[in-house]
Every structure is written in C-alpha cells, then in structure tokens.
Structure 1
Amino acid sequence: MSNEYKHVLVAVDLTKDSHLVLERALPIAERNGAKVSIIHTLEPLGFAYGGDIPMDLTSIQDQLDSHARERLGDIATPHGIANEDQYVVVGMPDSEIHRFAAEHDVDLIVVGSHGRHGFALLLGSTSTGVLHGAQCDVLAVRVGADDSEE
C-alpha cells in the first residue's frame, strides 16, 4: 500500500480564506505528484427557503452557479488548476464532497475549518461533516481565526 496521494480535492467556500486552504493543499499535491481538483458546493435555493416560495427559482440558481464558477476560477486559475478540474456542484456540501471524492478516486480532501466553539461546534459544520463521512484522509485547515483569541 502506497502512502502517496494521487488525487487531492480542495473544498472551498469562496471566501477570502479559500486561498489559504488551496495554498496549504498545493505543496502536499506537488510533493506527491498528485492531481488537484477544486470544488465549491451551492446549496439548492429550495433548501434555503424550505420550498415555501411558490415560484421558479431556476434562473436565480443559474445566476448563483455562474457567479460561483467565476469566483472559483479567480481562486484556482492563478494556481494553475485547469478549468476542467474546477467544479461547482449543487447539493448539501458534505454529501456532495463525499460523492465527488468516491467517484473521482480522491485520496485526500482538504477543507477549511473555522474552529468553532460551543454551540456552533455542536451544531456541526461542513468540515465536520466531511471528516465524519469521508472514505479517505481529510486535512482541515484552520482559517478565519478570531483576532480576539490571539
């Protein structure tokens, strides 16, 4: 069994911290000669509004998708990640990341973690969901540290 990574998946939320997550993943991929894919997950608008709005949200979802693809390109392209390795998917983030990882033989997922405490930690987060259901290694990169903690 090899302990080298062959495919690294970087999951980002498109905030300014996304660069930090990607910059942590890239040297690991480079040391292992691994392919790098980057993914962002959009939750369906129907989830956000609970399906209570009697209107077609397709055009709004399409606009969100287009904007997310543009932002993902802004993050990934300067680091040499090709368009075909940049993915925007719609669904629940942890489930979609697990699905993608299984379908594309990902052996390391790198995700940002905001290091929540207390009630926010109990309620969970995307990074916690990814960690608990992953069939491969997961690296949670600490991001968004609160300046008051320093």
Structure 2
Amino acid sequence: MTYKHILVTVDLSEESRILIDKASALAKALDARLSFIHIDVNYAELYTGLIDVNLNETRHFSMENSRKHLQELSEYADYPVSHTLVGSGDLGHEICETISEFEIDLVVCGHHQDFWSKLLSSTKMLINCSPVDMLVIPLKED
C-alpha cells in the first residue's frame, strides 16, 4: 500500500524530532504529503475545583506557544510540511476529525515505554479509535 498523506502527532518535546525524522524519510520515499498535529490539553476539563485564572487567556497563550513550536519543528523537517495543526480537547476525537478532513491515510505517533505510559497511554487511545493505519514508534527512556 502506498500512503498519500502522513500525519505526525507531536507533543512538542525533543523526542518529537525522532518521529519527524522517521516520518519525513517515509514521506520522501513514498512521495507523500506530510502534516504535523499537536493537541493541547483542555485544562478546564482536568480540574474541577475552584481556580482563579482566565482560562481563555491561558488557552490562547498555550495555542500560540504550540503554533510557534510546531513551526520550528516544521522548519526542522527534512521534507516539505503541508499542514501544521494545533487543536485542543479530546485527543481521539480531534485526530479522527483531522484524518477525515485532511484525507490522512497514515498516523505516526510515539510511545514512551515507561511505567506511566503503560497506565495512561494516549497512543492506546488512538489505536482504539483510528480508522487508518498507524505507525507507532517506541520512544525509549535513556
């Protein structure tokens, strides 16, 4: 099967470069389009107690910061990047909407192999809901 549009899910850490290197090489070999996505955590849904912050201002700052980091990762890539996307909310829902809207046929994501990732893995969530093929790249702890 030849993939036409590869979506790389990044968490904006240095380890994202590992995913970008592999996805860029694959996209180059297949002459496929390459896009990046980062989903910001929806802070309002994580905390149910009283907090004294302006969530809209915090969310705006977080989204702008994410866009800046994605742009840097896009410039780092050794292949043209079609789209850099930032979303917020439920990871599975946002990724699945993006897959449909941008005609993605391969999702590349990383998986940390530590204790907490075995309990709280966002990759597992994606595997359970993704309608397209996935390439899961292990991100080993040093």
CA distance in 2, matches of 1:107, 1:134: 10
- Matched to 1:96, the amino acid is E
CA distance in 2, matches of 1:141, 1:41: 18
TM-score (norm 2): 0.89
**Pick from 126, 130, 146: which aligns with 2:141?**
146
CA distance in 1, matches of 2:125, 2:38: 15
* Gap runs ≥5 in structure 1: none
**Pick from 112, 133, 139: which aligns with 1:137?**
133
CA distance in 1, matches of 2:38, 2:111: 15
RMSD, aligned α-carbons: 1.9
CA distance in 2, matches of 1:4, 1:89: 27
* Gap runs ≥5 in structure 2: none
SS at 2:114 equivalent: coil
TM-score (norm 1): 0.85
Tell me which stretches of 4 or more aligned residues in structure 1 moved more than 6 Å.
Answer: none
In the alignment, what sits opposite 1:41? Answer: 39
Cα shift at 1:78 = 2.6
Report how many aligned residue pairs link the two structures: 141
Once the two structures are superposed, residues 59-111 of structure 1 have per-residue CA deviations (whole angstroms, 9 ceiling, x without a partner) of 111001111111111111232544x6101111122221122112211100000
% identity of equivalent residues? 26
